[in-house]
Structure 1
Amino acid sequence: MANSWGIPKHIEDLVLQRDKSCVYCGCDFSDTERSKKKSWEHIINDINITTLDNIALCCIGCNASKGNKALNIWFYSEKAMKRGVNIQTISDVIKKSLNL
């Protein structure tokens, strides 16, 4: 295992190559601003699903905002809108999960 979330090393490496900014709000990751630091995200809130389609990198702010809500509920919520999350900011892996 590559990390404490049980994400296999080969999936971790692919996600690190793919997700260069938050998959939700699109912000550039920061090493200094806490809310913009990278965090591992299970798009479907199931720690046992460690596939490339379910593992992503998002900012701590979006991860905290989403919490354990289902993606399709959170995406249309006021909390997501306040973070600037919309169809233009989400990455392809999120569009695929939302069937957009």
Structure 2
Amino acid sequence: MDNKEIARERIKKLFSEADEVFSKDKKLANRYINLARKIAMKFNLRMPRGYKRKFCKHCYSYLKPGKNLRVRTKGKNVVYYCLECKKFMKFPLSKKGK
């Protein structure tokens, strides 16, 4: 196993840990996300699409719909509104054929 594979596994583990601990301790969940981002940057890895949408691109806090995230559709986009930093992110709405 090379270092990049180990880093990918570690990122996956940190995101699952953040998901588990979010309801008890938001600060710890945010710390896990911060560590996962740093690992990805250190090993020059792309964060998978599913993981990219689980944290705010402005304040880097872990996002959970209904708790600290508002999800809306606007035109051909899905708009994520972070309730921590009051900023939003737009993602294109995927087509069913793809």
Q: TM-score, normalising length from structure 2?
A: 0.28
Greater strand proportion: 2
Q: TM-score, normalising length from structure 1?
A: 0.28
- Which structure's CA Rg is the greater one? 2
Greater helix proportion: 2
Q: Bigger relative contact order, structure 1 or 2, given CA contacts below 8 A and separation 6+?
A: 1
